[in-house]
Structure 1
């Protein structure tokens, strides 16, 4: 079964069983439980299981061939015996060499004992040995990498646990303050909503009453300042007019100037009255 991210629990169980078989009674190194790690271990497990099955098939094939070679050996032995060639007729060294040659041929699974067959079989055996050694080294490197990652993950996990514990303690301390701030925030929101509605209500009333900016406080203050300035200008004119009142009544020029000043005073008084009326409105 291929590894699927949506079936991580089942894959983890299979990997755990496989690791227990691989390590036997030894403790299994911790590893990080994530999709990438489980995928690597799952592929490694499948590869290992496939290699085990292939090895079992090879062993079975070797056993079968050994039986065939034994049967062939018996047949050849009978033939040799029929030809009156007995092992006792060979020297001890010859018997040993013959037995070694036969065992080696069985081990290398060759059909005959020619030099070429031996060389080819030994070359194939060396290639298989090199390949297996490389695969074993790769598996050991992968296991070492997983072990180091697991150690790093455990360190990070412990750090996160401490940080979480510290955060929880800080949260317990800060919780009353936060709750108080939440209550104050709710209160302020309610007050802001009340003030907003009150402002809308007052604005509606101003629109209904047809209130203009002329009666606003700032406008009235400006008009009061203008009135004060006019009164300040009017005071010296009145004093000047009073000085003209002291002139002899029979002087024509004095009369003309007095009349002119009266007109100015009248204009100023009319302007002042207009400003006052505007303020009352």
Structure 2
């Protein structure tokens, strides 16, 4: 009887070890890095900022910043699991713990700072408009009144225009900037508004060259921050990583790589912890 019990115990132990081994295989990094996974929220539809390409790769300034930060936190590029972070979903993703941090053209605002914490800022952009190249009716922000203006649900740009710049603009809010771009190209809307960095990325795409132009309006200051859960220790760690990125030249290299083709005149790297008011 004792031998039988020992045999059963041994079999149980073997089964547990096999189960554990199976679980380990499920969590193994399929890229071969073998490191600890980290989930990062980015935009999937913003050329030059955060874009998921048809072949499944991820490109853009935010992607490069997030990859650098993740490396400083101890993660290889292959350890990163990219998750789409649409403008209206960003606070929810962080609050639910669906992502470790978000780098998705995420402007630091008092309202958002009540719900999440921000590291940075790591880029100072300005709100602008994208127009059709042959449009000569919108020469200043006030000309947006009575025009069909497109932006993305949940973005600060849409509300900024409506409350401060052109209260009579006919605001159309879509789920993504690519939808606005299609509307602009097809003359369903007259202008697309968001940050100049994002607009420059669109204008630089080969299929759109010559079709659009930037208005050149600096209608606001947009301080891009990296969002983390409220009270997270990651904020300080990410700030340290961003400071290193600027000091070792990686920040300048990422700007040139992602915005250079659009002849985008970026502001110098902002000082960490200093938010420039509009």
- Relative contact order: is structure 1 or structure 2 higher (C-alpha 8 Å, sep ≥ 6)? 2
Category of TM-score, reference length = shorter chain: under 0.3
**TM superposition score normalised by structure 2:** 0.17
Please tell me whether Structure 1 or Structure 2 has the larger radius of gyration of its CA atoms. 1
**TM superposition score normalised by structure 1:** 0.17
User: Which has the larger helix fraction?
Assistant: 1
User: Which has the larger strand fraction?
Assistant: 2
